[in-house]
Amino acid sequence: MTKARIAILASGSGSNTEALMSHFSTGPGSEVAEVAWVCTNRKVAGVRERAQTRGVAESHLPKAAMAEGELLRELRTRNIDWVALAGFLLRVPADVCAAFEHRMVNIHPALLPKHGGTGMYGMHVHRAVHKAKDETSGTTIHWVNEAYDEGDIVFQGEVALERTDTPEDIATKVLELEHLHYPVVLEGLIRMAQGTDVRDNTHLKSHN
């Protein structure tokens, strides 16, 4: 079976990108897929260095070029099978959403449908969770469609919060959870699509 080729779209420091590149470069993950391309809309972004350090192809595509069809052209030229959004702050162009339906996922740092939608990214999310005095937070992995944070949920992982947790504490707890789950959930989805679902996908069974 040929390995699935994953592209990651990211805008920031790229710690989830790092977790994905690591997972698919060794061990069982590397049997089914590889991270073939990292693309960012920011000329300067930590994620670019992370990809370069690992020898993964990376590009900067400005927002306008993405919207004008360049992103889809690149994805096709590079024979990409799956797209993972990891801290990507732009709307995904409609042509890419259509071409990668049920082959494109996003990770959100809260338990959707709470604390999602426009403006809900990064610390804004964790401050909202803190302000709401939520007893739990977590991460949501969902299919991407044209509406922000509204694609069907694939997986949610939850973490208990203490009353004393600051927004920064919440961010740390959630990020740790993301690094743990995102690579394994994506591997599970790829395996299911390939019909090679032989691993224990306990993660996917907790989908609600």
- Catalytic residue set: 108
End-to-end CA distance of the chain: 31
Count of residues of this chain found to bind ligand GRF when the rule CB under 6 A is applied: 14
The answer to the question of residue 151 lying near ligand GRF (CB under 6 A) is no
Considering only the stretches 7-15, 68-76, 91-99, 193-201, report the one whose residues sit in contact with ligand GRF under the rule CB under 6 A: 7-15
The answer to the question of residue 149 lying near ligand GRF (CB under 6 A) is no
Three state DSSP letters for the chain: CCCEEEEEEECCCCHHHHHHHHHCCCCCHHHHEEEEEEEECCCCCHHHHHHHHHCCCEEECCHHHHHHHHHHHHHHHCCCCEEEECCCCCCCCHHHHHHCCCCEEEEECCCCCCCCCCCCCHHHHHHHHHHCCCCEEEEEEEECCCCCCCCCEEEEEEEECCCCCCHHHHHHHHHHHHHHHHHHHHHHHHHHHHCCCCCCCHHHHCCC
**Residue number, 108 or 173, with CB nearest to ligand GRF:** 108
The answer to the question of residue 58 lying near ligand GRF (CB under 6 A) is no
Among 3, 5, 13, 42, binds ligand GRF (CB under 6 A): 13
The answer to the question of residue 153 lying near ligand GRF (CB under 6 A) is no
Among 6, 51, 80, 107, binds ligand GRF (CB under 6 A): 107
The answer to the question of residue 14 lying near ligand GRF (CB under 6 A) is yes
Among 175, 193, 194, 197, binds ligand GRF (CB under 6 A): 175
The answer to the question of residue 108 lying near ligand GRF (CB under 6 A) is yes
Among 6, 61, 82, 87, binds ligand GRF (CB under 6 A): 87
Considering only the stretches 5-13, 48-56, 141-149, 186-194, report the one whose residues sit in contact with ligand GRF under the rule CB under 6 A: 5-13
Chain residues that interact with ligand GRF, rule: CB under 6 A: 10, 12-17, 86-87, 107-109, 175, 178
